[in-house]
Amino acid sequence: MERREWVACEDVVLFVNAAVTSTGQREFRDSEYEQHMSLAFLHEYMLGNYRDLYAASLALEINDHNAALIVRNLLRTSRGLPPDIRRREGALIARRLELMAPQRVYRLFRELARLRANNRRTRAIMRDWIAQRPDPALDAVKYRAGAKAAARHAHLPVPGETGTLLFVPLRKVKGFETPLFETWRQAHYSRRALYDLPYTVAEGFAARHGVARAEFLRGIAPRLTRLERLRLQDSGERLKVDGVRADLATMPLTRLASYVLSLTREVRARRHDELHNALTAAALRVVGRAAGTWGHVVAVLDDSFSSFGSTAKRQRPLAVALGCHYLLKALAGTYTALWTSGARDPLMVRPSGPTPLGERLIDGLELRPERLIVISDGWDNAPPGLASEVLRVWRTRLDPAGATSVVHLNPVYDADDFGVKGLAATVPTVGVRDAEDVPTLVELARFAEGRAGLRELDHYLTARRQRFLAGGKSR
């Protein structure tokens, strides 16, 4: 591989790792400002040097924060693009927006308006996305500020009562024929009306009317969505409100792992079987027919003190490790988990102690697995550098043929290094945000390792883009 291709391949993998892991929020070792500035530089670098690959990354397992930044950057720099590139980018943008949470899309539209990105392509994308929304009346109430900004910026016609709700002062409106709009109007004056609104809208009215939290949760419980129930479950139990408890059997794996870690250890012990079964079921839903196909797998899982993350991303690294534990167990024929703390029960893990990755790697490699997966932020400190030396000796002296595949998955973006911190030059490191993405990320690791060049990476991204546009989700 020529050096130019090697550098390009490394740049793209570096960016994808960042776009998977960083959300611009504070991490254990980096401030929010450091994360934001580092990520902004990477986006500008990729936009200027690898625009086609930058756009293609929308089809990968990047998080919605970075997907929104990519869409914003592509739309604000459209001038002079050839028609075929415009069409290719437009298709990727439209598909990605379909998969994003609507509140994030409306926030993106408001940002485009602020930046005065008002070209024809931007207006067409905004128009088409809004046109395919399943319930325009709900959007007008639930995302009123975003819908209003998008309609203004893209010069969209807003007919009938929707236009009245968005643009006419409430004091001039005597009533609406649309039931949801009329409920929203009445909720400005009546406590009872707010319980017929979506939770996120009703919450503001409850505060405005001074409704006690317990009373509000009791009244709004029938209208809660699945994820809202999960977020509010602790509040409901604390306030002794029935009807708020979530159905854990339907929860996504990493989100469920975060919920489990938010519980006290006493609660986890009391609900041990319920939580274990829910996590196992969530993992099996992800792997599907691939269950049991990975052979002998050993996982080294980091539950050291730094796995706490930050106050902005509380216990996120540990939640990813816990989710990966259940996912790898589902994928493996035979499976061994080695937590850095020596924990035996994954449901009882908590962020504590140093990070003896080197010792756990020795334990894992002695088992001679087909795959060894490391889930860690890469800060090996007990003693420092042992993990790197263990992996170097293993790859160069004890297993030069690569009978054991070793991959490091890192859930934490390192702002100083513009990427995710690796363990050793002989082991590929890939960023991970959700445990659900592990099978695809292990596949992507061969590009981080240097075993495949820019041409292979381009073919890989083209295949992922085609699948993505055909309707296969990016995650």
| CA pair distance 149, 63, nearest whole angstrom | 24
pLDDT at 236: 82
Given 1.10.472, 1.10.1760, 1.10.10, 3.40.50, which CATH number is that of 254-469? 3.40.50
For residue 301, list its beta bridge partners: 339, 375
pLDDT digits 0-9 by tens, 251-308? 899 999 999 999 999 999 999 999 999 999 999 999 999 999 999 999 999 999 999 9
Q: What is the DSSP string of 384-425?
A: BTHHHHHHHHIIIII-TT-SSEEEEEE-S-BTTTTB---S-T
Q: What three-state secondary structure class fits 333?
A: coil
| CA pair distance 27, 377, nearest whole angstrom | 11
Domain ranges across the chain? 3-221, 254-469
pLDDT at 452: 60
- The whole-model pTM stands at 0.87
Distance (Å) of CA 351 to CA 2, 132, 322, 327: 43, 44, 12, 20
pLDDT at 295: 96
pLDDT at 475: 41
Q: Among candidates 230, 223, 233, which has minimal Cα distance to 201?
A: 223
pLDDT at 178: 96
Q: Within 13 A of 164's CA, how many CA atoms are on the CB side?
A: 15
Q: Given the structure tokens 């459209």, which residue do they identify?
A: 78
pLDDT at 474: 47
- H-type alpha helices, 188-289: 199-209, 213-220, 226-238, 253-262, 265-270, 272-287
| CA pair distance 236, 246, nearest whole angstrom | 10
φ, ψ for residue 84, nearest 5 deg = -65, -35
Q: Within 13 A of 238's CA, how many CA atoms are on the CB side?
A: 8
Number of H helices, E strands in the chain: 22, 5
Q: What residues of the chain score a pLDDT lower than 70?
A: 1-3, 6, 448-453, 472-475
| Sheet strands side by side (includes 405-410) | 334-339, 296-301, 371-375, 405-410, 429-431
